Amino acid sequence: MSRQVYINGQLFPQEEATISVFDHGLLYGDGVFEGLRAYGGKIFRLEQHVRRLYESAKAICLEIPLSETEMCQAHNETIAANDIQDGYIRSIVTRGAGTLGLDPNRCSNPQVIIIADAITLYPDELYEKGLEIITASTIRNHPAALSPRIKSLNYLNNILAKMEGLQAGCIEALMLNHKGEIAECTGDNIFLVRDGVLMTPPMDAGILGGVTRDAVVELAAEAGIEVQKVTLTRHDLFIADECFLTGTAAEVIPVVKVDDRTIGSGKPGPVTLDLKERFHKLTRS
């Protein structure tokens, strides 16, 4: 089905939605993006995603030619134009077309692009049985090189780790930071449960501040579950009772094996299932 793609305030049929080959988003990955999801015609935590987009842009000195409110409206217009009830939205802001050199000052027009499409979900079976993941040897970007808090168009760090996962037959892979601590997965944040306490790495582990991660932390607090944002190592993962991942596309998905070691009982645990259910209710309410 042909989609209507938003580019700089206008909607184009997808075949005509094009940008310059001189755009530094393409030439250098110089730009930022977001991945959002609509449930029942409403975009989940739209303002929070847009806020993160603007923070990513600010961190790379990229000025977005729209206010945050206008950006939210543009997202809503795009899902409406595509008649999307439940779907996935990809928003991109590139540095714009420039010269073949690196200099971002020679790029004039940032391109604001919003694509709304159907969502590809992980198979149901994985939510019931849980995922097996591996630890990638590719570490997460050093925060002093490229902060993982920036959702930039250069996702090669994550893609290289994802390739390691896929080679091992896993759809997700765990990434450690430069200190050997647990950071996150290639496109998801990670949580562990031990003795009823929910734990997730803090922002300074070098992670993307996930919107789903925040929602799950809130849901856990509501459920009376203690939440700790603490430094975690693979040792903590090996001795955890439960593990799950969070992300816009994945929502809450249990993990039952890491590096061929069974986590807890080897089945999705009660805290995971409770939070998965609460997240489901929150998004579908």
Applying CB under 6 A, which part among 2-10, 17-25, 110-118, 211-219 lies near ligand PMP?
211-219
Q: Which of 151, 229, 267, 281 is catalytic?
A: 151
- Give the three-class secondary structure for 172: coil
Kindly state whether residue 220 participates in binding ligand PMP, applying the rule CB under 6 A: no
Pairing state between β 251-258 and 261-262 = antiparallel
What's the CA gap between 188 and 209, in Å, rounded?
10
User: Shortest distance, CB of residue 203 to ligand PMP, whole angstroms?
Assistant: 12
Between CA 232 and CA 275 the distance in angstroms is 20
Q: Phi/psi class of residue 49: alpha, beta or left (left: φ > 0; alpha: ψ in -120 to 50)? A: alpha
CB of 46 to ligand PMP, least distance (A): 12
Using CB under 6 A as the binding rule, whether residue 131 contacts ligand PMP is answered as no
When asked if residue 212 is in the footprint of ligand PMP (CB under 6 A), the reply is yes
**Helix spans in 90-248 (H):** 124-129, 156-167, 211-222, 234-238
Asked whether position 56 contacts ligand PMP by CB under 6 A, the answer is no
CB of 106 to ligand PMP, least distance (A): 29
Mark residues 185-204: x for contact with ligand PMP by CB under 6 A, - for none.
--xxx---------------
251 binds ligand PMP (CB under 6 A): no
Q: How far apart are CA 252 and CA 244, in angstroms?
A: 7
Minimum distance, C-beta of residue 186 to ligand PMP, in the bound complex (Å): 6
Farthest CA pair distance, the chain: 57
151 is known as an active-site residue: yes
Task: Please tell me the chain's helix, strand, coil percentages from 3-state DSSP, rounded to the nearest 5.
Answer: 30, 25, 40
CA distances in angstroms from 29 to 25, 116, 145, listed in the order given: 4, 21, 15
Applying CB under 6 A, the span of 191-199, 241-249, 257-265, 266-274 interacting with ligand PMP comes to 241-249
Q: Which is nearer to ligand PMP, 78 or 212 (CB)?
A: 212
Q: Which residues are catalytic?
A: 151
Residues that bind ligand PMP (CB under 6 A): 35, 158, 184, 187-189, 208, 210-213, 246-248
